[in-house]
Chains A and B, each alone.
Chain A
Amino acid sequence: MNAVLSARNLRKSYGDQVVVDGLNLSIQRGECFGLLGPNGAGKTTTLRLLLGLITPDAGELSLLDHNVPHQARAARLRVGVVPQIDNLDPDFTVAENLQVYGRYFGISDADIEARLPELLEFANLTHKRDAKVPTLSGGMKRRLTLARALVNDPEVIFLDEPTTGLDPQARHLIWQRLRELTARGKTLLLTTHFMDEAERLCHRLAVMDNGRIISTGSPRELIAQNIEPQVVEVFGEHAAAWAQNHAARHAQRFEVSGESVFCYVDNAQPLLLELQLHPELRFLHRPANLEDVFLKLTGREMRE
């Protein structure tokens, strides 16, 4: 398989602060690749480096067989971008936004006009064709931004937190559209800190923290490699005291977070029997998920 995008030993600092610290990445054609990380992990900076918008201090980068940043212009001709913060043109209608954006790629007005119905339908915005942007809901704006990213029929689409701030209905519609794009053979690179989003959409993931990739693999691989398969969450005001005295005997690993105790185990039976003896505690037994991996790898403390 040929890599659509590859980065080798990418570095970027601002002053004393190292934002991207020796990043290696390779994304195959047709893949939906997720870049996970807490706020400030360097995800957005990485995307900006990959697009050639900023110049790395060191490292090699190629996007669609073009050297970036030197040939970034040629690479960006075949890339679509959904930015984290909406930057639609507020003075224009839905259709005008697509038309004006198409011109930036050198597409003729006639060609854009011909593509408009398909783009509007994909974004579920056919009925909003002549509506001005400020009258659209948050979900509609995101869908228009997604349609705008497709105006040049790109091979690779970058999505920076595509569903942040959306309600569940709007998120599900975006997810459905993103799956359609992968089904059509598009390569997707998305950043997110929603683990359910990453688990549903991505073929492969990289967990990023402090400018480095700390783990890569499919969602299942990440769980299998990094964490025990079963989780028992114990909560209630006595949970922390119970954990101090008993948790270590029944769980390979446990973490206390406020009034919740997270116990990670290969076999939950002994722990569940133990919990029968403590009716004051409530608990939830579930398989380990990506969020557990994420919290294990990047820690529970707040990033601010």
Chain B
Amino acid sequence: MNSRDFAFPQFSRRFIPIWRRNFMVWKKMAGSVILGNLADPVIYMLGMGYGMGGMLPEIDGMSYMAFLSAGIVCYSTMNSASFEALYSTFARMYEQRTWDAILNTPITLDDVVFSEVVWAASKSLLSGLAVLLVIWLLGLSHSPLALWIIPLALLVGLCFASMGLIVTALAPGYDFFMYYFTLVITPMVLLCGVFFPVTQLPPLWQNVSSVLPLTHAIDLARPLLSGLIPAHFIFHIAVLSGYALIGFYVALVLFRRRLSQ
């Protein structure tokens, strides 16, 4: 370990051309990506919403489908950022050696890692917008407060992109990502109130849930979609930002270490 690896991140505007590069690649397959962004939440909300919703009374004063929609917004944005920060970032770093090509120019590793976080969050933003569109089309939300979902999607994206990059920085290969999805992402989906209220969990698991970022994202999204100002919203934003900032710093330190070999 080298003390230089722990230096404060050096940001510059040179991450922008990398973002534009990723956007150019994305545009070439935008059709399938947007279709996936729209179809996945529709399938979840209609399938689960009608299937489960028919058997369930209202939850917290809303229909099951409306309850579920807030969970799906956060779940989709989390997934978009995680997949991008794991598989796609790993491809650019390791398989395609795109990072090596970029690092031979005046761009530094700090710029590259920052571009990855911003790019993954951009994809989250897009996926959040798609779900919001579905929510509006299905008539599940009528409040202008729902527009706050847009910056929230970006914040959730930054948070999960940063966490995902830590895993990518440590990964020897693609198979490694299965650990993260099986041991972190999937349990989080079940513990954080996507499909059912956290209050249904035993007290111990409620405590675990309260420190997980997805819980805080859903605690913001659910009231916003119902037209309410979320309780303790500054606290929830702070938790998500904390995960994003600390995650980014840890990922950057690990990438500096990995790429100085």
Contacts and interface: CB of A to CB of B under 8 A. Distances in A.
Contact of B261 (A14, A73, A85, A100): A14
A105 B105 contact: yes
B97 interface: yes
A83 B105 contact: no
A111 to B, nearest CB: 14
Nearest to A109: B20
A83 B102 contact: no
Contacts of B108: 73
Nearest to A81: B104
Interface in B91-131: 96-98, 100-108
A106 interface: yes
Contacts, number: 65
Interface residues of B, number: 25
Interface residues of A, number: 28
Contacts of B100: 83, 85, 87
A55 B4 contact: yes
A92 B24 contact: yes
Contacts of A152: 105
Contacts of B28: 91
Contact of A104 (B4, B17, B96): B17
B209 to A, nearest CB: 40
B117 to A, nearest CB: 18
B106 A101 contact: no
B187 to A, nearest CB: 34
B21 A100 contact: yes
A87 B105 contact: no
Which residue, A87, A92, A96, has most C-beta atoms of chain B within 10 A? A87
Interface string A99-125: 011011110000000000000000000
Contact of A87 (B24, B25, B96, B260): B96
B14 interface: yes
B21 A89 contact: yes
B21 A85 contact: no
A56 B97 CA distance: 23
A76 interface: yes
Contacts of A55: 2, 4, 260
B260 A100 contact: no
Interface in A193-210: none
A100 B24 CA distance: 9
Nearest to B109: A53
A106 B14 contact: yes
A105 B20 CA distance: 13
A94 to B, nearest CB: 14
Contacts of B21: 89, 100, 103
A77 interface: yes
B106 A105 contact: yes
Contact of B105 (A90, A92, A104): A104
B106 A54 contact: no
Interface in A126-165: 152
A74 B106 contact: yes
Contacts of B24: 91-92, 96, 100
A101 B97 contact: no
B96 A89 contact: yes
B101 A88 contact: yes
A57 B140 CA distance: 61
A89 B98 CA distance: 7
A121 B98 CA distance: 25
A73 B103 contact: no
A103 B203 CA distance: 54
A87 B98 contact: yes
Contacts of A54: 260
Contacts of A174: none
Contacts of B96: 87, 89-90
A77 B97 contact: no
Contacts of B98: 87, 89
A152 B107 CA distance: 13
A96 B21 CA distance: 10
B101 A53 contact: no
5 contacts: A55-B4, A76-B106, A92-B24, A100-B21, A103-B20
Interface of B: 2, 4, 14, 17-18, 20-21, 24-25, 28, 96-98, 100-108, 259-261
Given A89-B25, A92-B24, A104-B105, 19 more contacts: A51-B104, A53-B104, A54-B260, A55-B2, A73-B108, A76-B104, A76-B105, A79-B104, A83-B100, A83-B101, A86-B97, A87-B96, A87-B97, A90-B96, A100-B20, A104-B14, A105-B105, A106-B106, A152-B105
Interface of A: 14, 51, 53-55, 73-74, 76-77, 79, 81, 83, 85-92, 96, 100-101, 103-106, 152
Q: Which 7 A-B pairs have the closest CB atoms?
A: A87-B97, A103-B17, A104-B105, A81-B104, A87-B101, A91-B25, A73-B106
